[in-house]
Amino acid sequence: MLGYLAELRILPLSLLLLTCLLGGFFAVGPNVDWNIMGLVLLNAFCFLYTAHLNDTYWDIQKGEYEEDRKLHSIRFRENGYLPRWGFGYEIPNAPILPKGYYLAGMAFSTVIGVSVMLYISALIGWFYSAIALVGLLLALTYSAGLDKIPALGDTMWEVGVLFALYCGYYSQKLALDAFVIQLSIPLLLALISVKALDSLPDTLVDNRVNKQTLTVFLYRRGLSPSSIRHVCYVPAYAAFLILLFQSLQMPRLALGAALTVGLIASSHAMMDPEGRRSIVAVSLSILFFIVWALLYISGFI
């Protein structure tokens, strides 16, 4: 059971579900149809959980879990393993399960997710299934090998999260338009920083198994982990400066973007060459802005 609980991965789960919810609020403001949105969030949860199980399954399959490595720990130095997030293991001492257990879990969560997806589509239209399935397929194929293709190693997860935004938006407006596409660009940039910082502690192992991530690309060109960390922050700064510019006509939303830039800068200033706390801090900064935007749209700010 602990092995399954460990795949909940609270930060990615929070980012995905709140992004999905934000899509609904961008579509219709606070007048969200919660009967539909509740189903969409359940669908997103099932598909993300499937992706997490799939990710660990392929990490094991590709030999990334060496002897004595704990689940979700990382080898940042040659002489030992460290907790990924810097604040202890997500689920202390969670075991690495036999590979068949991950396949069984994926099958179960996929069946539940697809069933919910089809029910939603019967209510609002089948284009919803097309959007949701693209997100799921991106997540599944990424772990299975797209992370060894240049440029895809640092973008497929982020594009999958964008499709959660599109699912939330479509579920309420029954259309995708230029407005939500425009909003998704800074989100994509911010998530590129999250994924790059997440990859930073895994750079040595990723280099050994020939993953083509941004951090591996920079590592092979002689940059130190500390220098790579600085590069990882660039997309996040760009994302929220774009949002700040886009929201100048909405001062309270612009304030949220400005505060988020400050939070990102504060995390960047931390002494964290290994990047284990940076990923948490940047993820929380993005979550701060998403919650700020939800409260702004709801009229509480």
**191-200 pLDDT tens trace:** 999 888 888 8
Question: What is the span of the domain harbouring residue 165?
Answer: 2-298
Phi, psi (degrees; rounded to nearest 5) at 180: -75, -30
| Residue 68 confidence (pLDDT) | 52
8 A C-beta contact, residue 214 and residue 185: no
| Residue 70 confidence (pLDDT) | 56
Instruction: Report the predicted TM-score, pTM, of the whole model to 2 decimal places.
Output: 0.86
For residue 8, name the pLDDT band (cuts at 50, 70, 90).
confident
Alpha helices in the chain (DSSP H): 2-5, 10-28, 34-61, 99-124, 127-144, 156-173, 178-199, 203-208, 214-219, 225-246, 251-268, 276-298
Write the DSSP assignment of 146-176 as a string of letters.
GGGSTTGGGTHHHHHHHHHHHHHHHHHHSS-
Most confident of 14-23, 85-94, 136-145, 216-225: 14-23
| Residue 146 confidence (pLDDT) | 59
**209-256 pLDDT tens trace:** 777 778 888 888 888 888 899 999 999 999 999 999 999 999 999 999
| Residue 81 confidence (pLDDT) | 42
Average pLDDT over the chain reads 84
- For residues 151 and 176, which has the higher predicted lDDT (pLDDT)? 176
| Measured CA distances, 108 to 96, 101, 105, 144, 196 (Å) | 19, 11, 5, 19, 30
- For residues 66 and 58, which has the higher predicted lDDT (pLDDT)? 58
CATH code for position 186? 1.10.600
Most confident of 53-62, 69-78, 112-121, 155-164: 112-121
Mean pLDDT of 174-183: 92
CA–CA separation, 262 and 268 (whole Å): 10
Indicate whether 84 pLDDT > 60.
Answer: no
The token pair that represents 139 in the structure block = 């997540």
Total domains, the chain: 1
CA–CA separation, 12 and 25 (whole Å): 20
8 A C-beta contact, residue 123 and residue 34: no
| Residue 263 confidence (pLDDT) | 97
Q: What percent of the chain has pLDDT over 70?
A: 83
Reduced to 3 states, what is the DSSP secondary structure of residue 64? coil
For residue 149, name the pLDDT band (cuts at 50, 70, 90).
low
Instruction: Please choose, from the candidates 153, 162, 142, 131, the residue with its C-alpha nearest in 3D space to the C-alpha of residue 15.
Output: 162
**35-48 pLDDT tens trace:** 999 999 999 999 99
